[in-house]
């Protein structure tokens, strides 16, 4: 055993060490004492296993016995020397979300929680993600840390699982509300038994996630790499993502801070999609175990009747109001959110009050790399793209059963089948351009009527179109690589990752002019803009159908010309990685002024594994 200078942290040489207060049965007992009981007495949402009067004392001890240690490696001459510092460089970042790729993903939220945290780690920050354990992930180990949380009117036991990948502590919250619901009963459905239908207890499930996330930095004494050890402690920033995590700032403000816990901690709330806000019956406020003083932050008069009528609570509204900073995933979407009720989906007035900043998403350049893609049989880069693409196109055509012909331009679509993505507009537009020399391949899952529409395509256009209503990652990669164009006819699109993936593979995007599609696709230079569409989702607007048909035809006229090759080169020359966005995130998070926070240490190998994900190879 070795004691790291400057702190009480004790490290061992074991494979996975969850710290002196957590390993083994003795450690578990200690953890219950030091890590938890302090909360159980002060926190309305947590319940004590022991006598309340013991707890004040233990709270103080917890602070003293479980400090984070940071060590830096410096180069002096030709030699690397290591010295230990207690706190100092970088920030402690806790990303919380319901999806974290590749472990869990229904769409882009999973991609962002998968990709941004390693990019922040590569900049020298200590980074954790907290998400549910929906399955028995083969790479995540039981930390043996168990806590009790008050959820609704019950006390629930939660376990933490953990793995360390690409410089990030990936923490998974284990509870039957996640594992049994998703894996045991419904396989891959995170939010409900089917698209468009939510689990009845989602508020309790996500309250549990938020509370567990607030405990994780204090109770998990992680020892994942040689630079950071011990619990993250209280000088942290929580990055809450979408409505499911909106209770984090609420519990922090009303339960932890008044007791002197997390006194300088801050919350940044990131909106990935304003369409999902977590609106519930007003009386459900009592389920959340929050004091009445917060009721007004949730209070919401709904202009829509679904899913329940009248006055409601709105989780996202509270998340926006109670956080220290509100962000979203592109600058143009940030503008749209405050532009009016339709694009701000009735929260525009709230966001105008708090302000919002947009940072465009990056993409995972490791998973999506045409030179190393494990799902494609021809590897390429910008210098070989024109030779590789016809071969990849033939493989794609064969895969979906379309006539194999490299001279036919192929258009792809990938996305969740919701009105947002405009697959219904696309289907309505197909008759208006399908007589051209073109094939179209549509991949998506979601609303059943939209899945049916896709399945009809093959019957109506046997030689021209295919619709695949599956969540199929290998096929998504084959489409991104093998298609000539990617169509993104979204009614609204906060950022969009499909067009980023496409551009990296030299596949030219044809996009609606909304949200991040405006920020990332430059008309005539890296793709084609179709103008903005009607955001009313009830019906397909004929003007949008015309816009799709006209612009598809316009794009097809460039196919095979020198101008088209130039667009391909422009697309592939861009750095679409998380590197740039991560720097912007760093600036914003530093500005929150959490004690002990400093810029990351660029140029030093704090998290070498994380860097693989970040810089474009």
Ligand X SMILES: Nc1ncnc2c1ncn2[C@@H]1O[C@H](COP(=O)(O)OP(=O)(O)O[C@H]2O[C@H](CO)[C@@H](O)[C@H](O)[C@H]2O)[C@@H](O)[C@H]1O
Whole-number minimum distance, CB 500 to ligand X, in Å?
Answer: 8
- Going through 372-478 in order, the beta strands assigned E by DSSP cover 410-414, 439-443, 465-468
Task: Provide the 10 A C-beta neighbour count for residue 341.
Answer: 11
User: Residue 419 or residue 544: which is nearer to ligand X going by CB?
Assistant: 419
Sheet containing 465-468, strands listed edge to edge, beginning at the edge strand earlier in sequence: 465-468, 439-443, 410-414, 485-488, 508-511, 528-529
User: Which of ligand X, ligand LY7QZA5B, none is residue 361 near (CB under 5 to 8 Å by kind)?
Assistant: ligand X
**Is 276 a residue that touches ligand LY7QZA5B (CB under 6 A)?**
yes
Closest-CA residue to 587 (of 599, 577, 579): 599
Q: Which does 268 bind (CB under 5 to 8 A by kind): ligand X, ligand LY7QZA5B, none?
A: none
> Across-strand partners of 194?
197
x/- map, 277-316, ligand LY7QZA5B, by CB under 6 A: ------------------------------x---------
Interface size with ligand LY7QZA5B, residues (CB under 6 A): 16
Stretch that binds ligand X, among 89-97, 243-251, 414-422, 588-596 (CB under 6 A): 414-422
Min dist CB 445 to ligand X, Å, is 5
**Residue from 59, 361, 423, 529 that binds ligand X (CB under 6 A)?**
361
Element holding 9 (H helix, E strand): none
Cα separation, 361 vs 584, in Å, equals: 10
Residue 116 or 255 having the CB closest to ligand X: 116
CB-CB neighbours of 566 under 10 Å:
13
- Would you count residue 375 as binding ligand X (CB under 6 A)? no
Stretch that binds ligand LY7QZA5B, among 268-276, 309-317, 384-392, 464-472 (CB under 6 A): 268-276
Q: Scanning residues 494 to 533, which ones bind ligand X (CB under 6 A)?
A: 494-498, 516
Q: How far apart are CA 598 and CA 123, in angstroms?
A: 11
Smaller CB distance to ligand X: residue 388 or 488? 488
Cis peptide before 307 (omega within 30 of 0): yes
Binding mask 73-112 for ligand X (x = CB under 6 A): ----------------------------------xxx-xx
Site residues for ligand X, 424-443, by CB under 6 A, read 443
Are residues 252 and 211 in contact, defined by beta-carbon separation less than 8 angstroms?
A: no
CA-angle at 267, arms to 261 and 271, nearest 5°: 155
Residue of 191, 199, 256, 485 that binds ligand LY7QZA5B (CB under 6 A): 191
Which residues fall within 8 angstroms of residue 184, CB to CB, at 6 or more apart?
Answer: none
In this structure, are strands 10-11 and 2-3 parallel, antiparallel, or unpaired? antiparallel
Core vs surface per residue 476-509: b (16+ CB within 10 A) or e: bbbbbbbbbbbbbbbbbbbbbbbbbbbbbbbbbb
Task: Select 35 or 494, whichever has its Cβ closest to ligand LY7QZA5B.
Answer: 494
> Two tokens at 164?
């360390």
Which of ligand X, ligand LY7QZA5B, none does residue 461 bind to, with CB < 5 to 8 Å depending on kind? none
**Sheet of 299-301: strands edge to edge?**
279-281, 311-314, 299-301
Region of 277-285, 334-342, 492-500, 596-604 interacting with ligand X (CB under 6 A): 492-500
Binding mask 325-354 toward ligand X (x if CB under 6 A, else -) reads ----x-------------------------
Total chain residues near ligand X (CB under 6 A): 26
Tally of CB atoms within 10 A around 372: 11
What tokens does 450 get?
A: 């939209």
Q: Which residues, numbered 106-145, are part of the site for ligand LY7QZA5B (CB under 6 A)?
A: 106-110
Selected binder of ligand X within 91, 120, 221, 414 (CB under 6 A): 414
- 289, 210 contact by CB (below 8 A): no
Q: Tell me the torsion sign for CA atoms 514, 517, 523, 529.
A: negative
In this complex, which beta carbon is closest to ligand LY7QZA5B, that of residue 99 or of residue 373? 99
CB 491, min distance to ligand X, A: 11
Q: Which of 67, 416, 522, 583 lies at the binding interface for ligand X (CB under 6 A)?
A: 416
Picked from ligand X, ligand LY7QZA5B, none, the partner binding residue 370 (CB below 5 to 8 A depending on kind) is: none
- 230-289 binders of ligand X (CB under 6 A): 272-273
Least Å distance between CB 301 and ligand X?
Answer: 26
Closest distance to ligand LY7QZA5B from the beta carbon of 276 (Å): 4
**The pair of three-digit structure tokens given for residue 234, joined into one six-digit string:** 């209280």
* Cβ 232 vs Cβ 69: under 8 Å: no
Bridge-based pairing of strands 299-301 and 79-85 is: unpaired
CB nearest ligand LY7QZA5B: which residue? 107
Cβ 118 to ligand X shortest distance, Å = 16
Among 100, 90, 159, 92, smallest CA distance to 128 is for: 92
Residue 146's DSSP bridge partners are: 159
Q: Which is nearer to ligand LY7QZA5B, 273 or 289 (CB)?
A: 273
Q: Of these partners, ligand X, ligand LY7QZA5B, none, which one is at the site of residue 276 (CB under 5 to 8 Å by kind)?
A: ligand LY7QZA5B
Q: Which of 99, 234, 364, 586 binds ligand LY7QZA5B (CB under 6 A)?
A: 99
The CA distance from 394 to 401, in Å, is 10
- Name which position in 39, 272, 464, 466 contacts ligand LY7QZA5B (CB under 6 A): 272
Shortest distance, CB of residue 418 to ligand LY7QZA5B, whole angstroms?
6
How far is Cα 314 from Cα 281, in angstroms, rounded to an integer?
9
Please choose, from the candidates 91, 238, 84, 226, the residue with its C-alpha nearest in 3D space to the C-alpha of residue 600: 91
Footprint of ligand LY7QZA5B on residues 198-217 (CB under 6 A)? 198
Q: Shortest CA distance to 231 belongs to which of 14, 31, 6, 1?
A: 31
Q: Which residue in 522, 480, 472 sits closest to 497, CA to CA?
A: 480
Q: Is 148 in the site for ligand X (CB under 6 A)?
A: no
Tokens, residue 93: 């970042």
Q: Which is nearer to ligand X, 162 or 244 (CB)?
A: 244
* Cβ 478 to ligand LY7QZA5B shortest distance, Å: 21
Q: Name the nearest CA neighbour of 250 among 48, 350, 258.
A: 258
Instruction: Choose one: 91-99, 232-240, 302-310, 470-478; the region binding ligand X (CB under 6 A).
Output: 470-478
Q: How far apart are CA 564 and CA 547, in angstroms?
A: 21
Which residues of this protein are in contact with ligand LY7QZA5B, per CB under 6 A? Answer: 99, 106-110, 191, 195-196, 198, 242, 272-273, 276, 307, 416
Which residues of this protein are in contact with ligand X, per CB under 6 A? Answer: 107-109, 111-112, 272-273, 329, 361, 414-416, 443-445, 471-473, 476, 493-498, 516
């Amino acid at each position: 055993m070795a004691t790291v200078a400057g702190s009480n942290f004790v490290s061992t040489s074991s494979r996975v060490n969850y710290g002196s207060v957590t390993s083994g049965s003795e450690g578990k007992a200690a953890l219950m004492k030091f890590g938890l009981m302090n909360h159980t007495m002060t926190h309305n949402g947590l319940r004590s296993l022991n006598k309340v009067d013991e707890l004040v004392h233990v709270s103080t001890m917890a602070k003293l016995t479980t400090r984070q240690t940071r060590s830096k490696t410096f180069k002096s001459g030709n030699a690397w020397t290591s010295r230990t510092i207690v706190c100092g460089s970088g920030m402690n970042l806790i990303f919380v979300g319901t999806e974290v790729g590749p472990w869990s993903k229904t769409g882009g939220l999973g991609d962002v929680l998968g990709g941004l945290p390693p990019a922040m780690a590569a900049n020298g920050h200590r980074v954790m993600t907290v998400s549910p354990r929906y399955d028995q992930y083969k790479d995540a180990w039981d930390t043996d840390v168990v806590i009790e949380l008050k959820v609704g009117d019950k006390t629930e036991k939660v376990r933490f699982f953990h793995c360390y990948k690409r410089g990030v502590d990936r923490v998974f919250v284990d509870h039957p509300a996640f594992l049994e619901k998703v894996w045991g009963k419904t396989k891959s459905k995170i939010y409900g038994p089917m698209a468009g239908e939510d689990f009845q207890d989602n508020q309790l499930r996500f309250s549990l996630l938020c509370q567990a996330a607030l405990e994780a930095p204090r109770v998990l004494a992680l020892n994942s790499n040689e630079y950071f050890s011990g619990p993250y402690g209280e000088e942290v920033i929580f990055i809450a993502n979408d409505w499911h995590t909106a209770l984090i700032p609420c519990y922090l403000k009303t339960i932890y801070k008044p007791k002197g816990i997390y006194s300088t901690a801050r919350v940044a709330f990131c909106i990935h999609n304003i369409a999902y806000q977590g609106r519930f019956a007003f009386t459900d406020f009592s389920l959340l175990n929050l004091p009445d003083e917060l009721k007004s932050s949730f209070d919401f008069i709904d202009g829509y009747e679904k899913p329940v009528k009248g006055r409601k609570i709105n989780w996202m509204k509270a998340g926006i109001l109670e956080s220290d900073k509100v962000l979203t995933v592109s600058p143009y979407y940030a503008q749209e959110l405050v532009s009016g009720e339709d694009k701000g989906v009735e929260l525009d007035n709230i966001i105008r009050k708090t302000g919002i900043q947009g940072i465009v998403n990056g993409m995972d350049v490791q998973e999506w790399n045409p030179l190393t893609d494990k799902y494609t049989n021809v590897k390429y880069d910008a210098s070989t793209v024109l030779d590789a693409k016809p071969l990849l196109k033939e493989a794609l055509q064969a895969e979906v059963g379309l006539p194999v012909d490299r001279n036919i331009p192929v258009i792809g679509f990938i996305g969740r089948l919701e009105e947002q993505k405009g697959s219904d507009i696309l289907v309505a537009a197909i008759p208006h351009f399908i007589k051209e020399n073109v094939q179209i391949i549509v991949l998506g899952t979601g609303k059943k009527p939209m899945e049916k529409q896709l399945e009809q395509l093959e019957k109506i256009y046997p030689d021209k179109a295919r619709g695949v209503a599956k969540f199929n990652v290998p096929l998504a990669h084959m489409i991104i690589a093998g298609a000539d164009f990617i169509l993104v006819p979204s009614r609204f699109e906060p950022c969009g990752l499909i067009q980023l993936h496409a551009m990296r593979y030299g596949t030219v995007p044809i996009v609606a002019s909304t949200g991040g599609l405006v920020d990332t696709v430059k008309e005539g230079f890296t793709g084609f803009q179709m103008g903005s569409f009607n955001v009313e989702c009830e019906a397909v607007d004929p003007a949008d159908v015309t816009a799709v048909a006209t612009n598809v035809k316009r794009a097809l006229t460039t196919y095979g010309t020198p101008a088209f090759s130039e667009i391909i080169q422009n697309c592939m020359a861009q750095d679409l990685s998380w590197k740039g966005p991560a720097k912007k995130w760093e600036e914003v998070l530093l500005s929150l002024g959490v004690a002990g926070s400093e810029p990351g240490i660029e140029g030093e190998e704090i998290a070498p594994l994380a860097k693989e994900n970040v810089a474009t190879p």
